[in-house]
Amino acid sequence: MNRLIAAAAIISIILVGYDYFQIKPGRNAAIYAQRDANTKLQADLDTALKAKSEIEAVSSEIEELKKQTAELLQKLPQKEEAGTLLEQITKITTGKGFSMEKVTPGATRLAEATIKADNDSGKVVYTEIEINIEMQSTFKELGKYLESIEQLPRLVDVTGFKSKPLDEGNRLVSQMNVKTYVYGGE
């Protein structure tokens, strides 16, 4: 019986030694490899979650830019609306002493604007239409006229403004260039 116990003890020592020196290093290597893989997967997950939150933020920015673009396009007349808008600019009257003396078509030019949003950019083609206006009015009527232009639903730009007294009274002769922009070019 002692031999049996001694043989079992020797076999147990051999099996423990075999496990410790042969099997355990492979098991430990697999455990360390799995920990490294878990660490990399966690880093990838963190990056993905961060990207997801950034995508949501960028998506909301894109939607906001789309809304702003739509609003701006509403202010730029389409080609078929340009005549109506130019007529509105020249037909505004403000009072008895107001008279439109001369309305002369000015330069029409095709232009291009580059729009940048973050790393993306795009180009918008438009036509710039200019009208040269000469009018006689009082200072108050001139202010009303400019306010009426400002109230128009479309984008109108007043440039090259000059005004000088007409006579001893409060009447003025005013010259200005009025520009509007047509989306999409000619």
* Residues in CB range of 155: below 8 A, 6 or more apart: 75, 76, 77, 180, 181
H or E stretch covering 100: strand 99-117
pLDDT at 162: 92
- Write down the mean pLDDT value for the chain: 82
**What 8-state DSSP symbol labels residue 111?**
E
Please tell me whether residues 13 and 96 are part of one structural domain.
no
Nearest to 137 by CA among 94, 97, 95, 178: 97
Alpha-carbon distance values, 60 to 64, 72, 96, 177 (Å) = 6, 18, 52, 39
Neighbours of 125 (CB within 10 A): 13
Is residue 92 located within the same domain as residue 133?
A: yes
CA atoms within 13 A on the CB side of 46: 6
The candidate with the shortest Cα–Cα distance to 109, out of 178, 186, 52, is: 186
Confidence label for 137 from pLDDT (cuts 50, 70 and 90)? confident
- Same domain, yes or no, for 106 and 43? no
The whole domain housing 4 covers: 1-75
Low-confidence winner among 37-41, 77-81, 110-114, 170-174 (lowest mean pLDDT)? 77-81
Which band of pLDDT confidence, cut at 50, 70 and 90, is reported for residue 130?
confident
Comparison of pLDDT for 60 and 175, the residue scoring more: 175
Counting the structural domains of the chain, the total is 2
